[in-house]
Amino acid sequence: MSRPVASFVSPPLPTAVIGAGSWGTALAFVLARKLPAVTLWCREEEVAAGIRNNHRNPLFVSEFLLPENLHATTDLAEVVKNHALLVLVTPTPFLRPTLRRIKPHLHAESCFVAASKGIETGSGALVPQIFAEELGSAWEERLCFLSGPSFARETLAEQPTAVAIASRSLAFAQQIQELFRLPWFRTYRTSDVVGVELGGAVKNVIALAAGIADGLECGQNARAALITRGLAETMRLGMRLGGRPETFAGLSGLGDLVLTATSTLSRNHQVGLRLGQGQSLQEIMAGTREVAEGVPTCQSLNQLAEELGVEMPITRAVYHILFENRSPRSVLEELLGRTPGTEFEES
């Protein structure tokens, strides 16, 4: 790994996006607006063929025409060997096996942008920890994380969007910040990797809670309360893990939370809405191709909070509904019946 940090992406290195769901397709679209060519690795041959032949992703965001300089393939080993900058947009439950697949093919110029959001089931590991465990600390200077309020469809429609770029390497963060920057896609950098990743993970669980409340027709007061108290939960856990409070008030914290918990475009909000309306989780998940990251994240988050002794009542309430088959109405009543406390810790 002899290539200096300052030259990782300037001049642009061969770049590939790994993961061709909605968000992976959107990030590949953003990069194709800046680079001569971008490769998108697809798990399904159907997706790769659709992009090659029709410049559309036939399974996800199919209404958007993709640039001709965006190429698609299903050969993961060749992608890793022939591209230096790898943007991983893999759902968190599949991130570790994906890293194990690509590790033998990494080379001296390889570097990463991780756009996965979640907490690994079983281990309770955040995305940065998964990278460290699978690739080792030597890659830390070549790794950053992208998160923030950003729906794929609005990004593909070139509507104004702002995201956070987090890395422990300032030089690498600056390079990636510039690489992704477009007139309608604004990037902000930070060194708070833990805060950025945790905010992106927990907001999906709070969005499930907001959706459940909407399904129960609790009203907008309740939604606002859930978002606010959900942010308080996020901050309690985040600061315990070393995140900075200001990060949770930023794009990857409050910004992403508000977007995901209030919009009909949010998969997690939609899953919660249908749960609140009386559908079972099995029914909902059987009818969708895209992953609602809040479901597996809730299980991991609840376990992590218990292990660390961090109070997260909204997360616990969602866990009861998802994994203990409790009725949303009874869980809501239990949540509202908790002993009142102070809003903030008082000295």
| d(C-alpha 338, C-alpha 313), whole Å | 9
Supply 194's token pair. 């833990």
For position 6, what pLDDT does the model report? Answer: 45
Supply 192's token pair. 């708070």
pLDDT in tens, the chain (347 residues): 434 444 555 667 899 999 999 999 999 999 999 999 999 999 999 999 999 999 999 999 999 999 999 999 999 999 999 999 999 999 999 999 999 999 999 998 999 999 999 999 889 999 999 999 999 988 889 999 999 999 999 999 999 999 999 999 999 999 999 999 999 999 999 999 999 999 999 999 999 999 999 999 999 999 999 999 999 999 999 999 999 999 999 999 999 999 999 998 899 999 999 999 999 999 998 877 776 889 999 999 999 999 999 999 999 999 999 999 999 999 999 998 988 888 877 54
Strand partners, 226: none
- DSSP designation for 60: S
For position 120, what pLDDT does the model report? Answer: 93
SS3 7: helix
Catalytic residue among 34, 103, 117, 203: 203
74-102 exposure pattern, b = at least 16 Cβ within 10 A, e = fewer: bebeebbeebbbbbbbbbbbebbebbeeb
CB neighbour class for 167 (10 Å; exposed up to 12, middle 13-18, buried from 19):
buried
For position 3, what pLDDT does the model report? Answer: 47
Could you tell me the pTM of the whole model? 0.93
| d(C-alpha 272, C-alpha 276), whole Å | 6
Taking the CA of residue 19 as centre, how many other CA atoms within 13 Å lie in the half-sphere pointing to its CB? 24
For position 9, what pLDDT does the model report? Answer: 57
Residue 203 annotated in active site: yes
DSSP string, 259-323: HHHH-TT-HHHHHHHHHHTT--HHHHHHT-SS--THHHHHHHHHHHHHHHT---HHHHHHHHHHH
DSSP string, 176-204: HHHHH-BTTEEEEEES-HHHHHHHHHHHH
For position 262, what pLDDT does the model report? Answer: 95
For position 13, what pLDDT does the model report? Answer: 80
| d(C-alpha 135, C-alpha 330), whole Å | 44
For the range 5-11, what are the long-range contacts, defined as Cβ-Cβ under 8 Å and sequence gap of 24 or more?
5/141, 5/142, 5/169, 5/171, 5/172, 5/175, 6/171, 6/175, 8/84, 8/85, 8/109, 8/111, 8/142, 8/172, 8/175, 9/85, 9/111, 9/175, 9/176, 9/178, 9/179, 10/175, 10/178
